[in-house]
Amino acid sequence: MQTHIEEILRRLGGADAAATLTGVSPEAVRKWRSANAIPPRHWSAIMAATGLTMAEFSAAPADSEVPPGATAALVLADGSIFWGRGFGAFGVSAPSELCFNTGLTGYQETLTDPSYAGQIITFTFPHIGNTGTNAEDMEAAQIFARGLVVKEDFSAPSNYRSTADLGEWLRRMGIPGISGVDTRALTLRIRDLGAPSAVLAYPEDGKFDLAALAAIAAGWAGLEGLDLAKEVSCTQSYQWEGGTWGWENGFAAPEGGKRVVAIDYGAKRNILRSLASAGCQVTVVPATATAEQILAHAPDGVFLSNGPGDPAATAEYAVPAIQGVIEAGVPIFGICLGHQLLATALGGSTYKMERGHRGANQPVKDLTTGKVEITSQNHGFCVDEKSLPDGVEVTHVSLFDGSNEGIACKAKRVFSVQYHPEASPGPSDSTYLFSRFVEMMG
């Protein structure tokens, strides 16, 4: 049986003692009480202090009968259950990090963004799926998120470009979804307690082993220390063709100029399109490519793509390659994971954020111009500004929490940003960065 939060605090000697033991503020403990849950990262310390067992933290509630009409369940590592109506593919997702995204549009681009590998996505906007899906809006050949959580049932597609509704598309891709969930409560829980581990179950026979599902979620180690770039990267080099999409003519067919090698740590297609439309001839290479293999293409510049997982894990093989390119004097531009890897190659480090930045409404200030850009973002790790060496300039900061959003090293002709200037989905305030990269190449 799961132990109530008040009983746990009593055993710890009260709220203040609990805050001291776990190294959090009294306000954080207040949020534990409000959510009736404690973040899993504190469980070991509390178990040691109280004698509680893992089962007492994560056991399913006694009232675990399937509610009328429920065909799917989102089960968190602490045993919390969010019931709803399943759609998409039958099955149980792999254990994943549960995150929220604040975007109003672009759900198809979000789900196919390789940076979401290892995660279940809940959208804060309630009406997801109403414009259907199509082949042109995919950022990769498959869905990389492990599950989808939404508030409302989606309606029949209302868009002339749609070729399949959201449920049919998810079924083809083998991904489960759940609707009817109180996504506001779920988002507040993630905001206050951090991103939990979870599994999404949509069993074809309608049977749920809730204790087993909670144990699967609780047993997952999470994204820290996990290298996922190898899992989502291409396996061999190829030449990218095609520019950005236009309303009347579809995808452009620009002529390439500068030779750019894009290292694929989980690259979104619209980043490659944006490079092509900026006047680049783009060759894509796998995440594990060495400096020698990259430089063999005689690039005018090298692009470091976005991608999933812990940058510290991917850095083990990526950083030596990036440092080799820097030593060769080739200009570098990085986005998202590429930004974090460039910072690491220059001597910096990264850390795991409590809840990350995910959505298309994130304000960022460019410190070099004083201008504010509304950006699209998707990251759960961040560059530690304090770790950056002399000569590496902080160029952009988040106006949400002051975290790092961009760096540059003029002496080495390299720069990077944490956010997504390719605007897919999201605003186009930052597309100038691709032109800046072309200008840097001369």
Which residue is catalytic, options 97, 109, 405, 422?
422
Fold for 229-441, please state it.
Rossmann fold (3.40.50)
Which residue is catalytic, options 99, 280, 336, 409?
336
So what CATH class is 72-218?
alpha beta
Burial class (CB in 10 A: 0-12, 13-18, 19+), 25: exposed
Secondary structure of residue 143 in the 3-state scheme: coil
Active site residue 393: no
Q: Where are the domains of the chain?
A: 5-58, 72-218, 229-441
The series of mean pLDDT values per 10 residues for the chain, 442 residues long, is 75 89 85 75 82 63 74 94 97 97 94 97 96 95 97 93 97 98 93 93 96 94 96 97 82 86 97 95 98 98 98 98 98 98 98 92 95 96 98 97 97 98 88 96 93
So what CATH class is 5-58?
mainly alpha
Instruction: Find how far residue 265's CA is from the centre of its chain.
Output: 13
Question: Is-above-0.95 flag for pTM?
Answer: no
Q: Quick count: other Cβ atoms within 10 Å of Cβ 336?
A: 29
* Phi–psi pair at 272, nearest 5 degrees: -65, -40
Q: CA–CA distance from 223 to each of 79, 219, 246, 276, 401 (Å)?
A: 20, 13, 36, 32, 22
* Contacts of 227 by beta carbon, 8 Å cutoff, 6+ apart: 309, 310, 313, 314, 316
Active site residue 422: yes
Q: Which letter does DSSP use for residue 146 in this model?
A: S
The Cα–Cα gap between 428 and 349 comes to 29
- Residue 56: the pLDDT is 64
Secondary structure of residue 236 in the 3-state scheme: coil
- Residue 54: the pLDDT is 63
Which residue is catalytic, options 42, 339, 396, 420?
420
In what helix (H) or strand (E) does residue 376 lie, and over which residues does it extend? strand 372-383
